[in-house]
Amino acid sequence: MSTFLQFLILGLMEGGVYALVGVSIVLVYKATKTVSIAHGQLLAFGAFFFYLFFGYFGLPIIIALLLCFLAIGVMGFVIERLALRPMIGQPLFAAFLVTFAVFVVFDGVFLLILKGGILGVPKFLPRESLLVGGLRIPEGQAISFVLSMAVFGIIGLMFRYSKVGLGMRATAEDHQLAQSTGISVKKMFSVIWVVSSVVAAIAGISTAHVIDIYYSYPLLGIKGLIVALVGGLESLPGALLGGLILGILENISAGYLDPIVGGGVKEVAAYFMLLVILLVKPYGLFGLVRIERI
Amino acid sequence: MLSLENVEVIYNDVILVLKGVSMQVPDGKIVSLLGANGAGKTTTLKAISGVLYTELGEVTDGRIEFEGRTIGRMDPEDIVRLGIVQVMEGRKLFEHLTVDENVKVGAYSRSDAAEIRRDIERIYQYFPALLELKGRISGYLSGGERQMVVMGRALMARPKLMLLDEPSIGLSPMLVKEIFQIIKEINLQEKTSIFLVEQNAMIALSLSEYGYVMENGRVVIDGPSDKLKENEDIKEFYLGLSELGKRKSYREVKHYKRRKRWLG
Ligand SMILES: Nc1ncnc2c1ncn2[C@@H]1O[C@H](COP(=O)(O)OP(=O)(O)OP(=O)(O)O)[C@@H](O)[C@H]1O
Ligand SMILES: [Mg+2]
């Protein structure tokens, strides 16, 4: 039982990061109806920028974080402006392919930066573990989990109560109608790309606390995509839940099965989960209920 | 004053829909725009409000001016800020937002919070029926309620000119009367000019001072409303067009296609 709880706790914490990546993809999808693969790179570059400002230049952590958010915000902004804006009005699949192209281009840059090595970010969160009733709780990961949930809460509140949030929800429903009420849909697209890039970067930075930056960081974006799909693509709570479920599932299945099959279960768990959930609920756990009433 | 001069609109770079349309809506007046299905009425309104670009439409020739300014190439949000708001056909709401949020979002172009709050109250005075629906998810409202929300939302922008696309379609005669009364009231109290697209020609003409009739992307008749009301062609034309059932299904097909195109 306590091994199970241990896997559960570790999974939950890892799931917090997945949830953030998922949320960043859902944000973009809700507003622009584009499924983005590119967010894996935003996550990776977020971690890299943090390494650069915090690890390499040795700036104080708050300043490093702000500069990192600024840099990744600019990167998201530029991607939207140069690659995705021209796709407005074009078939959605074309926009999806564009994000794939963006992914591949930045992957090249990312590999050049790494030069086949790894980048270790100096540990910025506590590395000790708390022992609670025989369970090990890594402090650093617990902190970043709480922060992830806070980010999630802030986004939720912003959507619910702020003016920009209202504009975004309106944009998410109907671009033309939003335009006719005086909302600049193009500006909304920019804002959403900047915000979601920062969210992806936060996930990248959280990951960098646990694992040094290496070549497969961008692939976390694929897990984020799975999380988003499982949650229904349009639902923030869905992405949160999907992320947590994925983290827990990975850790529990790997924890129990790896000793038997000799490892690798964790890598498969995500795809397995996607398959099962989409078979049962093709629109994801929280696929939007369409209001049909003419 | 709004004026269109020889406006030409092309969709998808090839489909010529407006073929040189000239019209005027003087300040504070109500002007009707009539015409059969597919004549180009909605396209005219979209050209004015600037939302054409969302369906790959473009004003390719002519001028659209409002208060002496050329607005033909402006972004829709700037046109709203200048005081022109379009109430789209089909009573489109943000279905997943509440009634209150739908109304509030109409003030998106404004930043005078205190005034906005006062205006919201005024909207509920115009449409008292909405008061108890405030917190309701708007996707489930009835046609009449929807019409009130879309008009309330448009009013929140404090428009100088409101472009109303088929406000009466599908409503019961009682409601139609009520809606037109409110339109008149808005026109008088808020001094809002109104450009009214209608199938219900007789009501529209008795409300407005001037009218245009479009056919196939062109203006074919125009004149003072009371003159138009006596016009035999118009009488016949609009009596001939009473097959409501048929028309509705055509509209639905068109909407579906349009939505699909925009969503890709
Ligand atoms: N997005 C679009 N792309 C291509 N053609 C379009 C588009 N929207 C409208 N059209 C065409 O332009 C013509 C005019 O359409 P419009 O919607 O302006 O007519 P309308 O007068 O408002 O008709 P209705 O009374 O049915 O609303 C129609 O032939 C229509 O098929
Ligand atoms: Mg129309």
**CB distance B105–A92 less than 8 Å?**
no
Q: Report whether pLDDT(B227) > 50.
A: yes
Residue B4: phi and psi, rounded to 5, are -110, 135
User: Closest Cα of chain B to A287: distance in Å?
Assistant: 14
Report residue B251's pLDDT band, with 50, 70 and 90 as the boundaries: very low
Asked if residue B41 has its Cβ within 6 Å of ligand 1, the reply is yes
Residue of A nearest to B141 (CA): A293
In the block, residue with structure tokens 């990546």: A21
Please identify which residue in the block is written with the tokens 């009425």: B41
Please check whether residue B157 is in contact with residue B80, taking contact to mean a CB–CB distance below 8 angstroms.
yes
Mean model confidence pLDDT for chain B: 89
Query: Quick one: what percent of chain B has pLDDT higher than 90?
Result: 81
Would you call B54 and A179 a contact, using CB atoms and an 8 Å cutoff? Answer: yes
Choose from A9-18, A201-210, A240-249, B22-31 the range with maximum mean pLDDT. Answer: B22-31
Q: Mean pLDDT across the stretch B224-242?
A: 74
| A166 in Cβ contact with B101 (< 8 Å) | yes
Class of domain B2-230: alpha beta
Contacts from A259-268 at CB under 8 Å and sequence distance 24+?
none
Ligand at shortest distance from the CA of B17: 1
pLDDT at A288: 61
Q: Over the stretch B175-219, which tens digit does the pLDDT of each residue have? A: 999 999 999 999 999 999 999 999 888 899 999 999 999 999 999
Domain positions in chain A are 2-280
Report which residue type is found at A165.
G
pLDDT over 70 (residue B248): no
ipTM here? 0.86
Looking at per-residue confidence, does B252 or A206 come out higher?
A206
Q: How far is B228 from chain A (nearest CA, A)?
A: 31
Looking at residue A199, its amino acid is V
Collect all residues from B whose CB is shorter than 8 A from any CB in A: 49-51, 53-56, 75-77, 80-81, 85-86, 88, 92-97, 101, 104-106, 108-109, 137, 139-140, 153, 157, 252, 262-264
**Residue B198 to residue B200: CA distance in whole angstroms:** 5
Q: Provide the b/e sequence for B193-212 (b: ≥16 CB within 10 Å).
A: bbbbbbbbbebbbebbebbb
Best mutation target among B77, B251, B259 (most A Cβ atoms within 10 Å) is B77
Domain A2-280, CATH:
1.10.3470
pLDDT given for residue B238 in this prediction: 66
Whose CA is closest to atom 24 on ligand 1?
B37
B95–A175 CB contact, under 8 Å: no
pLDDT over 70 percentage in chain B: 89
What does the alpha-carbon distance between residue A167 and residue B60 come to, in Å, rounded to a whole number?
Answer: 30
What pLDDT does A267 receive?
Answer: 82
Question: Encoding tokens for residue A226?
Answer: 């799975």
Q: Of all atoms in ligand 1, which is nearest to the CA of residue B35? A: 21
What residue type is assigned to position A20 of the chain?
L
Task: Please answer yes or no on whether A93 and B264 come within 8 Å at the CB atom.
Answer: yes
State the SS3 of A25-83: HHHHHHHHCCCCCCHHHHHHHHHHHHHHHHHHCCCCHHHHHHHHHHHHHHHHHHHHHHH
Type of residue at B190: E
Residue of A nearest to B163 (CA): A180
Interface of A with B (CB under 8 A): 33, 89-95, 163, 166-167, 169-170, 173-187, 288, 291, 293-294
Residue nearest to atom 12 of ligand 1 (CA): B17
Domain ranges across chain B: 2-230, 231-264
Per residue in A194-211, pLDDT (tens digit) is 999 999 999 999 999 889
pLDDT single digits (tens) B25-40: 999 999 999 998 999 9
Residue A236 has pLDDT above 80, yes or no: yes
Instruction: State the pairing for strand pair A129-132/B57-66.
Output: unpaired
Give yes or no for a contact between A232 and A285, defined as CB atoms under 8 angstroms apart.
yes
Q: What is the mean pLDDT of chain A?
A: 90
Please report the pLDDT score of residue A286 as a whole number.
78
Nearest to A249 by CA among A259, A239, A241, A261: A241
Check residue B243 and give its pLDDT.
Answer: 42
Cross-chain residue pair B80–A91, CB shorter than 8 Å:
no
